[in-house]
Structure 1
Amino acid sequence: MKNMDTIKIVQGDITTAEVDAIVNAANSRMLGGGGVDGAIHRAAGPKLLDVCKKVPAENGVRCPAGEARITEAGNLTAKYVIHTVGPRYGVDRPADRLLASAYQNSLDLAVSHGCRSIAFPAISCGVYGYPPKEAARIAVSVCTQPEYKEMTKYFYLFSEKMAAIWATALSLTGM
């Protein structure tokens, strides 16, 4: 099966994704926030915040940049929420490696929990300022690695412009 057959670009709301795991572009505290993080917390309800508070923290940090944590999904249709923290562009270095790590660690957690499908947002492309074309290239590069070929990966992108950027990055893989 071609990798492209297991990657889908969706313009829409990630909180409605019918997948095993939804990836949250979280902040390091994992207690909700704005953008995708806030939308996922609102849709999942208070149970998500309760389970996030149980994740061990060191100096308030539950998930450092580039890492990922998995929790139950509250009221979402997904079984899990995988919280990952992408880099703040121009601040956290090396940004490209941290972003790739955020995707890879999310996928590895999904695999280890038996997930067959996962939905990603455009990690770090909101207030963290990552250039979307570069972020899409990194995301697609990680998601097309052979070890993830059996998992269906969705990129849920809110705007038509972002969906087009991700579709272009996927088409450039030659798959």
Structure 2
Amino acid sequence: MKIEVIQGDIIKVEVDVIVNATNSSLLGGGGVDGAIHRVGGSKILEDCQKIRNRQGKCKTGEAVITTAGNLPAKKVIHTVGPVYNGGQRLEKEKELLANCYKNSLELAKENNFKSIAFPNISTGIYKFPRELAAQIAIKTVKENTVLEKVIFVCFDDENYKIYKNYLEKE
């Protein structure tokens, strides 16, 4: 498996499937979630609404898959990262974040995809410490090598440097 880190916008990355760091409602929001829904178009929201009607909200750490609409990817995997609570439930939060990556990889494998792009899950408004989130993301992906290519797409310079450093140490 090849692991890369790039700085850029996940909605422009050409892979089989991109991952959306969403909220439990699956109805769009800010950050990467809002961008994916805006650019991907109404088909993504329609799929998300069907999933909600079938199963209710998406729980933290779980993942669901929809069309990619107007995006260059074939599909979008939506996963709900944990909200960082100042470390009061740190072990549980770490486990839930790892589950976002594990469950997304498993869904990609089930759909016979070979490449996936991840954003920096939970490091924005959910305030997960960036260094710790990068360690968890990279470790989890390496322990679950089921695809040919994984790209970590960092929107900002800080996350890009953190991921790049961790990947170079490995």
Which TM-score bucket, shorter chain as reference?
A: over 0.9
Taking the aligned partners of 2:144 and 2:60, their CA distance within structure 1 comes to 24
Say yes or no: does 1:32 pair with 2:28.
Answer: yes
Letter in 1 for 2:35: A
Say yes or no: does 1:114 pair with 2:109.
Answer: no
1:47 paired residue among 18, 43, 59: 43
Identify, as 1 or 2, the structure richer in helix. 2
In the alignment, which residue of structure 2 is the partner of 1:132?
A: 130
CA deviation digits over 1:106-139, x for unaligned, max 9?
A: 0000001001000000000000000000000000
1:141 paired residue among 139, 142, 165: 139
Taking the aligned partners of 1:58 and 1:99, their CA distance within structure 2 comes to 24
In the alignment, which residue of structure 1 is the partner of 2:148?
A: 151
1:57: how far off?
4.7
| TM-score relative to the length of structure 1 | 0.90
| TM-score relative to the length of structure 2 | 0.93
2:76 paired residue among 71, 77, 81: 81
Query: Aligned residues, how many?
Result: 167
Gaps of 5+ in 2: none
1:147: how far off?
3.3
Taking the aligned partners of 1:105 and 1:27, their CA distance within structure 2 comes to 16
- Structure 1 runs of 4+ aligned residues shifted over 3 Å read 56-60
Aligned 8 A contact 1:133 1:169 in 2: no
Letter in 1 for 2:78: H
